[in-house]
Amino acid sequence: MNKIDRRAFLKLTGSTLIGVTLGGIALRVNAQEKITLDDPTAVALKYVHQSAVDGEYCKNCAYIQGEEQAQWPPCSLFAGKLVAAEGWCSAWIKKG
C-alpha cells in the first residue's frame, strides 16, 4: 500500500471538495433552456405547457427543483431543461 503524506492528502481532499461544489453549481446553471413539446422526453411523458388536470401542475410536483415562484423551474425528469410552472406530465406526483 502506498504511503500518502499529509500534504498530498490535504491537496487531494481540497481539490475534490472544490470540484464537487463547482460541479453542483454548474448543473443548476445549465438548466436554462425551456423544454419544447417535441422533445423526446416530453413526448414520452405527455408533457404540456398548460395542465388540463385540476390541481396537478409542475409547480406542485415532487420532481420540481428550485424556487416555488419561478415561472419556468427546472425539473429532475427533464435534465437541463426548464418546464412551465402551469405545465403537467404523466409522471406528476404531489409534492409532500
As beta bridge partners, residue 42 has: none
Kindly tell me if the per-residue pLDDT of 13 is higher than 70. Answer: no
Q: What is the mean pLDDT of the chain?
A: 83
The more confident residue out of 4 and 80 is 80
Categorize the per-residue pLDDT at 7 as very low, low, confident or very high, splitting at 50, 70 and 90.
Answer: confident
Residue 23 pLDDT exceeds 60 = no
Q: Which of 79, 66, 92, 87 is nearest to 40 (CA)?
A: 79
Average pLDDT over residues 29-49: 89
Query: If we measure between CA atoms, which residue out of 55, 59, 35 comes closest to residue 47?
Result: 35
Q: Quick one: 56 exposed, middle or buried, by C-beta within 10 A (0-12, 13-18, 19+)?
A: middle
State pLDDT tens for residues 47-90. 999 999 999 999 999 999 888 789 999 999 998 899 999 999 99
